Structure formats: structure tokens, C-alpha cells
């Protein structure tokens, strides 16, 4: 299998370059398996991985021009040579490894936890099945950053626009029946950049490896703000 | 009822003006297709009726407001130096205000 991989080794060269590899397959099915084979042959190739089954979100990368998880990408779906690049719009640390600091800062900025005013009950905070269903399509996010990294609005304003991933998380806690801080959360998002830079391009929904739709969640946030404003 | 504030205001304004502009355009095109005015007198009778003058003025105001929000966003995305950005916004505002002013003048003086 032919691969063309973005290599950036700051100790060797200040400039990144594309390097071609030819790998003999031995029954590998997923792109991550091919990368593991390559890593065994050339240990200098760097990428992140952990669970290898689409739960941890570590191996997000740009595969043939499209963001995705290497572990969930079947190699039969890929045209050769397979071009692998780090996530667009993120600072590259080395090869396919990007700096996620800003991304996580934006995640923390939406206060991604249930904030409840009532004193904690003796047992868990119960939800009805309907209340639980309200966070379906929101809670499954694994923070792989495929969405934010494919969003042109995020490329243009990476410091000020929160990006689809963080906004999906904001929507997740606003939709949560156990959370009492909805007003403040929406108030914080009612800003020219944090939320309203979304132009509904929908690359986020297109690439999400978990099949989520951050654009719809963002639309829900806008609707909620509008409803509270009039 | 709370006062509308924050970025949701421009967002809502852009949606509302889009709806009005679309409704007006649909009416305008349908009218042209179904009861096309032929003679200059018919054209005048249609376009210069007081309600139509008002609707056309509102249409141009709506398009100008819509464009203001949209182009301002584009300018904020692409023009970073403050002076250049303010200059571009000023030009845009003058151009839109000038266009609407010209429309208002034309509509109010046409007989």
C-alpha cells in the first residue's frame, strides 16, 4: 500500500515535507493497522493512538483531504497513495501530532460539567427517560477535533470562535435536565465570535466519526438564545 | 420580555430582513409573470402606488441591513489591521447608506 505522509521533525529541518512509503500489507483492515505496521519499520513516524476502536479520539488526522479517525477508516475505502496530514488549522508538534492546547482551553471555557444549584441529593440525580434522550446526539462526542479542524470559520478565527466541538459540548450541558446554569451559559455564548461565527458550512457534521451533528447543536443554541431574547 | 442584545441581534436582523426581501421579491416576480404591466401608465400605476413605494423602500432598506451584517462579518474575518478594517466598514456603510438614500430620493420624487 502506498502512503504519502506529512513529516515534520523540528530537530532535523524547520520545514515539513511529504514522504512516500510503500507498505506490504498482511491482512490489515484499518488505516491505523497500516500505520502500526509502518511504525514497526520506521519508528521515527509519529502519530497519536490509544484505544484503536474509535472511543478515545486520539488518532484523528487528515486522510486524503478529509478529517477522520485512522482506526475507523477501512483501507478499502481509500484511494492510493493515501495522503496523511495532521489536522488542519492546528499547530503541528511533530508529523501527525498536533497541539490540542487551544482546543481543550475552548472545551473548558464552556464549563463542561453539570452545574446544579440544589444541594446534592443522597443518591444520584435522576432523569426521566425523556430527559435522558434530550442529550442523545450530544453526549457521544469524544473530542477528537475532526469537526473543529475542518471548520473554515474556525480556521479564520481559531482564538475567538469556540469551534463546533466546544459548542456541541455547550449544547450538551444546556440540554441536560440536571444543569441549572442554562441562562448564564447562553448569555456567555451571545457574543459576535464565540458562537455566531458559525456560518452553517456543516463540514463538522460531514466529518464527525461518531455521526454527530454539531451544526444542528449550534442551530439549537441560536434558537434558544433567540427565544430568550424576544 | 427582555431587551435583545448581543450578537443575536445582528443574527436575528439578518434573518428577518432575508425573509422580508424574499417575500417582496416573490411578490414582485409573481406580479411581473401573472399581470405584466405593458404600457408606461400601467408601470407607473403599479410601481408608484403609495403602498408599493413604501414596500420598495423597505425592500432596499432590508437588503442594505442584510448586506451590512453579512459584509461586516466578511470584513472582520479577512481584514485584521484596525485602520484598514475601520476604513472598509466606513466605505461599506457610506455605500449602503448612499444607495438607500438615492432609492428614497427617487421614490419620493418620482411622479
Instruction: Report the CATH number that the domain containing residue A11 is assigned in CATH.
Output: 3.10.20.30
Per-residue model confidence (pLDDT) at position B2: 53
Per-residue model confidence (pLDDT) at position A183: 94
Shared domain check, A123 and A19: no
Shared domain check, A113 and A39: no
Which of B4, B6, B78 is opposite residue A191, by nearest beta carbon? B6
Per-residue model confidence (pLDDT) at position B4: 67
Shared domain check, A137 and A29: no
Per-residue model confidence (pLDDT) at position A35: 97
Per-residue model confidence (pLDDT) at position B1: 38
Last residue of a domain, one of A43, A65, A98: A98
Q: Which domain holds residue A195?
A: 101-229
CATH class of B7-109: mainly alpha
Which residues on B lie below 8 Å from A187 (Cβ)?
6
Shared domain check, A158 and A223: yes
Say how far apart CA B72 and CA B59 lie, in whole Å: 20
Per-residue model confidence (pLDDT) at position A230: 75
Shared domain check, A49 and A69: yes
Q: Would the CB atoms of B8 and A230 count as touching at under 8 Å? A: no
Task: Pull the grid cell for residue B19.
Answer: 425573509
Please indicate if any CB of chain A lies within 8 Å of the CB of B10. yes
Shared domain check, A134 and A41: no
Per-residue model confidence (pLDDT) at position A161: 96
Shared domain check, A163 and A89: no
Which of A156, A191, A230 is opposite residue B7, by nearest beta carbon? A191
CA separation (Å) from B54 to A87, B57, B101?
52, 5, 14
Last residue of a domain, one of A69, A98, A127: A98
Shared domain check, A91 and A191: no
Per-residue model confidence (pLDDT) at position B77: 86
Please indicate if any CB of chain B lies within 8 Å of the CB of A192. yes
Beta bridge partner(s), residue A61: A68
Say how far apart CA A143 and CA A171 lie, in whole Å: 14
Last residue of a domain, one of A98, A133, A150: A98
Give the residues of chain B that fall short of pLDDT 70.
1-4
* Omega cis (within 30) before A81: yes
pTM, two decimal places: 0.88
CA separation (Å) from A196 to A104, A158, A168?
20, 13, 14
Shared domain check, A92 and A21: yes
Alpha helices in chain A (DSSP H): 31-41, 101-109, 129-133, 146-149, 152-156, 163-174, 182-189, 203-207, 214-229
Q: How many domains does chain A have?
A: 2
Say how far apart CA A151 and CA B96 lie, in whole Å: 30
Which of A157, A192, A226 is opposite residue B12, by nearest beta carbon? A226
Q: Would the CB atoms of B8 and A157 count as touching at under 8 Å? A: no
Q: What residues does each domain of chain B span?
A: 7-109
Give the residues of chain A that fall short of pLDDT 70.
none
Phi then psi for residue A23, to 5 deg, are -120, 130
Please indicate if any CB of chain A lies within 8 Å of the CB of B6. yes
DSSP letter, residue A76: G
Contact A216, A225 (CB under 8 A): no
Amino acid at each position: 500500500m502506498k502512503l504519502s505522509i506529512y513529516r515534520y521533525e523540528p530537530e532535523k529541518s524547520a520545514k515539513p515535507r511529504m514522504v512516500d512509503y510503500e507498505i506490504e500489507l498482511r491482512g490489515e483492515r484499518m488505516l491505523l493497522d497500516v500505520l502500526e505496521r509502518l511504525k514497526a519499520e520506521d519508528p521515527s513516524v509519529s502519530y497519536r493512538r490509544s484505544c484503536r476502536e474509535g472511543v478515545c479520539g486520539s488518532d484523528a488526522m487528515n486522510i486524503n483531504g478529509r478529517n477522520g479517525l485512522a482506526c475507523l477508516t477501512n483501507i478499502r475505502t481509500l484511494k492510493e497513495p493515501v495522503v496523511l496530514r495532521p489536522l488542519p488549522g492546528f499547530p503541528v508538534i511533530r508529523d501527525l501530532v498536533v497541539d490540542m492546547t487551544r482546543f481543550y482551553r475552548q472545551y473548558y471555557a464552556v464549563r463542561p460539567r453539570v452545574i446544579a444549584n440544589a444541594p446534592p441529593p443522597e443518591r444520584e440525580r435522576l432523569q426521566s427517560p425523556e430527559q435522558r434522550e434530550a442529550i442523545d446526539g450530544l453526549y457521544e462526542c469524544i473530542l477528537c477535533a475532526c469537526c473543529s479542524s475542518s471548520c473554515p470559520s474556525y480556521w479564520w478565527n481559531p482564538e475567538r470562535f469556540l469551534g463546533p466541538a466546544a459548542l456541541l459540548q455547550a449544547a450538551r450541558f444546556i440540554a441536560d435536565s440536571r444543569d441549572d446554569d442554562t441562562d448564564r451559559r447562553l448569555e456567555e455564548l451571545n457574543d459576535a465570535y464565540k458562537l455566531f461565527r458559525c456560518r452553517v458550512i456543516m463540514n463538522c457534521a460531514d466529518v464527525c466519526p461518531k455521526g454527530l451533528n454539531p451544526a444542528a447543536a449550534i442551530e439549537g443554541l441560536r434558537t434558544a438564545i433567540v427565544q430568550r431574547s424576544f | 420580555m427582555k431587551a435583545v442584545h448581543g450578537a443575536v441581534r445582528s443574527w436575528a436582523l439578518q434573518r428577518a430582513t432575508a425573509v422580508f426581501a424574499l417575500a417582496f421579491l416573490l411578490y414582485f416576480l409573481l406580479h411581473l409573470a401573472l399581470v405584466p404591466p405593458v404600457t408606461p401608465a400601467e408601470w407607473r400605476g403599479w410601481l408608484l402606488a403609495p403602498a408599493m413605494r413604501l414596500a420598495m423602500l423597505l425592500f432596499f432598506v432590508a437588503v442594505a441591513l442584510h448586506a451590512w451584517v453579512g459584509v461586516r462579518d466578511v470584513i472582520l474575518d479577512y481584514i485584521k489591521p484596525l485602520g484598514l478594517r475601520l476604513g472598509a466598514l466606513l466605505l461599506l456603510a457610506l455605500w449602503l447608506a448612499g444607495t438607500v438614500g438615492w432609492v428614497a430620493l427617487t421614490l419620493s420624487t418620482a411622479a
